[in-house]
Amino acid sequence: MYKTEIRGKLISGDKSLGQISQDILRPIDAKTPRWWYAAMTMSLALFGWGLYCKYITVSQGIGTWGVNNTVAWGWEIVNFVWWIGIGHAGTAFSIFLLILRQKWRTAINRAAEAMTVVAVLCASLFPLLHMGRPWLFFFIFPYPNTRGPLWVNFNSPLFWDFVAISAYMLISASFWYFGMVPDFATIRDTTKSKIKKAIYGFFAFGWVGSSKEWLRYEGLSFVLGGIAAVLVVSVHSIVSTDFAVSVEPGWHTTIFPPYFVVGAIFSGFAMVLTLVTLMRKLYKMEDFITDSHVDAVCRILVFISLIMGTAYITEIFMAWYSGSEYEMYTFFKNRITGEYALQFWGMFTFNAIIPQLFWFKKVRSKLWVVFIISLLINWGMWFERFNIVVTSLSRDYLPANWAEYHPTWVEIGFFTGTIGMFAAGVLLFFRYIPMIAISEIKSVSKYDKPMPEPKIEHHD
């Protein structure tokens, strides 16, 4: 049972159910704020620049990137894994906290799920366009064909990757959308604009809120949640096999699947924190996203950060324990003291050390500090992926092949383009979709009310 005295209020302001609906829907009905237009323009500009870089990539070839015959995967894979990791949060949030009966998730899960969908979309661009011949991407589908039939290589982690990501994308998008149906119905019923009524009415699927509908709704959530719970674990473990199945020192590591999943949740939660702090400030959602919410996410982060630190040290220990000179070189020379040491120490500091500040209540309660740390964690997780992908590749078995890798403006533009795309997606979400799951948060509206005294009947 949630103890308000210990963990703080889930909704402050002593709101009635009607008020809750009103408060959450206010931004959708209100006039679009100026800052939104400014932010949207910037995001679209970044996105447009990204599109131009993609055009260069597709029209001229990935030679326009900095990758080479030694480091054949660069920023594009770093960013892919990074976005996928971020895209982990939504579903992980909803599912794990659901399973763990953490009711405080209700204020945040919608935003987290929205983020997931946009992040996975951003992520999926990278593996598609990093192909030498992206127009033949369908070769990776296992479809019956006239070439033999020629099937894909079921042994290849890249194929598993494709299956895992597309399944994850499908399920998390459905999960997010179906969760919104009752809220769309609420907008439909409360809005005065005819256009909005029509549009939200369409997306609400004629929801009326009958008991039967709620029963089905719960059933569907349960089924999708069940599938998604598996996918949350599978998706990043499979992404990790892209590396773990190889022979590269620094990639060929059995710790990778859990390490990647935890890392993904770590970056995802950090991104959630970034978003909800913004949301809370920009839309004055302090009543719903209370200090206790922020506090809870911070606590989770400090815990995961410890796991991350353990994983990093385990990796290094295993490199030494393996006795393999190539492994030892990769970890001790190349990562810790090598050319890319900055990225290693950035990763270690941002992911394993700085989040330890969350042990202090003072830090957790300062929103701007929390915001900055959440950004640092995201940065640190980017460094982690850089460490794995680029640092390992740049110096592996034969020293004659060792080469440096530097990104070009095209790859950097591609990446910033996805940031623009992500920001634009999130801004659209802020503007047109209830940021907080109204129907779900209503279920916790009574949590901070004093419990009615249980009637104890005495049978003497």
Partner 1 sequence: MKTYWRSLDELADPKEFRIKEARAEARQKSLLLKKENEANHPSRRDFLKTLGFSLAAASIAASCKRPIDKMIPYLIKPEEVTPGMANYYASTYYDGGDYCSVLVKVRDGRPIKIEGNSLSPVSQEGTSARVQASILNLYDGARYKSPMHSGAETSWKMADAEIIETLRKIQQENGKTVLLTSTIISPSTQAIIQQFLKKNPNTEWIQYDAVSASGMLVANEKSFGLNAIPDYRFDKAKLVVSFGADFLGTWLSPVEYTKNYTSARNLRDGQKEMLRHYQFESGMTLTGSNADVRFPVKPSEESGIVLALYNAIAKAKGAQTLTGASSAVDISGLAEELLANEGHSMVISGSNNENIQLLVNGINQLLGNYGPVISWDTPLQTRKGRDEAMNTLIAGLEGGKISALLVWGANPVFDHPKGKAIETAIKKLTLSVSFAERKDETAKACQYILPEPNYLESWGDFEPKSGILSLAQPTIAPLFNSRPVQETLLKWSGETLRYKQYIEEYWQANFFPQQNDFTDFRIFRNNTLQKGVFSVPKKNEVEYSANGLAEAGQKIPSAKTGIEIALYETVAIGNGKYGNNPWLQELPDPVAKISWDNFAAVPVAYAEENGLNNEDVITVNGMELPVFIQPGQAKDTISVALGYGRAHAGKVGEKIGKDVYPWVRLENGNRTYFVENASISKVEGKTFELAISQTHHSMEGRPIARETTLEDYIKNPSAGNELRKKHQAESVTLYEKMDFPGHHWGMAVDLNSCTGCGNCAIACQAENNIQVIGKEQVRNRRIMHWIRIDRYYSEKPENPAVSFQPVMCQHCDNAPCENVCPVAATPHSNEGLNQMVYNRCVGTKYCVNNCPYRVRRFNWFQYARNDKFDYNANNDLGLMVLNPDVTVRSRGVVEKCSMCVQRIQEKKQEAKLAGRKIEDGEIKTACAQSCPGNAIVFGDMNDPNSRISKLFKDERNYHLLEELHTLPSVGYLTKVRNNIV
Q: Which residue number, 131 or 199, has a Cβ lying nearer to partner 1?
A: 131
Taking CB under 8 A as the criterion, the residue among 131, 167, 307, 367 binding partner 1 is: 131
Contact flag: residue 221 with partner 1 (CB under 8 A): no
The single residue listed with the structure tokens 């589908």 is: 141
Options 61-69, 173-181, 314-322, 355-363: segment touching partner 1 (CB under 8 A) = 61-69
Which residue, among 232, 238, 235, 240, has the nearest Cα to 259 in the 3D structure?
240
Judge whether 333 and 250 are in contact, CB under 8 Å. no
Contact flag: residue 61 with partner 1 (CB under 8 A): yes
Phi and psi, residue 437, nearest 5°: -70, 105
Phi and psi, residue 412, nearest 5°: -65, -40
Contact flag: residue 73 with partner 1 (CB under 8 A): yes
Cα 356 to chain center, whole Å? Answer: 21
* CA 11 – CA 115 distance, rounded (Å): 23
Encode 379-398: b = buried (16+ Cβ within 10 Å), e = exposed: bbbbbbbbbbbbbbbbbbee
Distance in Å, CB of 59 to partner 1, minimum:
10
Q: Quote the Cα angle for 192-429-383, to 5°.
A: 170
Taking CB under 8 A as the criterion, the residue among 39, 40, 45, 152 binding partner 1 is: 152
DSSP calls for 118-142: HHHHHHHHHHHHTSSSGGGGGGGS-
# chain residues binding partner 1, by CB under 8 A: 50
* CA 112 – CA 100 distance, rounded (Å): 17
Contact flag: residue 157 with partner 1 (CB under 8 A): yes
For residue 304, what are its two tokens? 């995961």
Taking CB under 8 A as the criterion, the residue among 36, 49, 159, 178 binding partner 1 is: 159
Q: Which amino acid is at 39?
A: A
* CA 163 – CA 125 distance, rounded (Å): 15
Q: Which residue number, 113 or 242, has a Cβ lying nearer to partner 1?
A: 242
Taking CB under 8 A as the criterion, the residue among 3, 34, 133, 212 binding partner 1 is: 133
* Sign of the CA dihedral running 153, 241, 91, 231: positive
Taking CB under 8 A as the criterion, the residue among 16, 69, 146, 254 binding partner 1 is: 69
Distance in Å, CB of 247 to partner 1, minimum:
5
- 155 Cβ contact list (under 8 Å, min separation 6): none
Binding to partner 1 in span 324-343, by CB under 8 A: 325-326, 329
Q: Which residue number, 19 or 408, has a Cβ lying nearer to partner 1?
A: 408
Contact flag: residue 386 with partner 1 (CB under 8 A): no
For residue 26, what are its two tokens? 């206010």
Contact flag: residue 67 with partner 1 (CB under 8 A): yes
Binding map of partner 1 across residues 403-432, x = CB under 8 A, - = no contact: xx----------------------------
Q: Which residue number, 305 or 334, has a Cβ lying nearer to partner 1?
A: 334
Contact flag: residue 245 with partner 1 (CB under 8 A): yes
Which residue, among 390, 391, 386, 382, has the nearest Cα to 332 in the 3D structure?
391
Q: Which residue number, 32 or 60, has a Cβ lying nearer to partner 1?
A: 60
Contact flag: residue 454 with partner 1 (CB under 8 A): no
Options 63-71, 297-305, 313-321, 429-437: segment touching partner 1 (CB under 8 A) = 63-71
Binding map of partner 1 across residues 160-179, x = CB under 8 A, - = no contact: --x-----------------
Contact flag: residue 4 with partner 1 (CB under 8 A): no
Options 90-98, 113-121, 129-137, 213-221: segment touching partner 1 (CB under 8 A) = 129-137
Q: Quote the Cα angle for 171-177-183, to 5°.
A: 150
DSSP calls for 25-92: HHHHHSPPPHHHHHHHHHHHHHHHHHHHHHHHHHHH-GGGSS--SSS---HHHHHHHHHHHHTTHHHH
Contact flag: residue 63 with partner 1 (CB under 8 A): yes
Distance in Å, CB of 438 to partner 1, minimum:
43
Taking CB under 8 A as the criterion, the residue among 102, 401, 416, 445 binding partner 1 is: 401
Cα 135 to chain center, whole Å? Answer: 28
Q: Which residue number, 96 or 402, has a Cβ lying nearer to partner 1?
A: 402
Q: Which residue number, 47 or 73, has a Cβ lying nearer to partner 1?
A: 73
Contact flag: residue 23 with partner 1 (CB under 8 A): no
Positions that interact with partner 1 (CB under 8 A): 60-63, 66-70, 72-73, 127, 130-134, 136-137, 139-140, 150-153, 155-159, 162, 242, 245-248, 325-326, 329, 393, 395-404
